[in-house]
Structure formats: structure tokens, C-alpha cells
Amino acid sequence: MKKVYILEDLDCAHCAALIEEEVGKLEGVSKSSLAFLTQKLTIEVAEDKVAAVEKAIIEIVKKREPDVTVIAK
């Protein structure tokens, strides 16, 4: 299942790369892509893992960029 998140106020390209890498390693995520310019994180995730993955994404983003807001589309 494809899910898209907007990472509002993301302003660090290096942090974006780290977030993309960490999200890609989460259980249930088969693909992770973060477009820094559009602040859009797109993942492929197992349907039964969506809730856990969303929670983990928020934790990862807050660890790397505390001022970024994660918005599910």
C-alpha cells in the first residue's frame, strides 16, 4: 500500500536523507522515497503495519528535525 506524507518545514537535505534511510529500514516498509524540494515522503508499506509505521515515522522525524510537522495525505 502506498502512503504519502508531507514533512512541513523540512529544511535540511542531510536530515532528509537520514529520515528516508531510517524509514526504509522499518519493518513492513518495502520502499521509501523523500523528495526534499517538495517535502514529500512516499512509502510502500504492508497494510497491517501502517499504524505502527506512521508512529515510527513521526518519532524518526522528531528526532532528526524537531520543528517539522508530519502530515498524512
Helix (H, G, I), strand (E, B) or coil at 2: strand
User: CA–CA separation, 58 vs 67, rounded Å?
Assistant: 11
pLDDT at residue number 26: 98
Report pLDDT digits (tens) over 5-42: 999 999 999 999 999 999 999 999 999 999 999 999 99
- Helix locations, 1-73, DSSP H: 13-24, 50-64
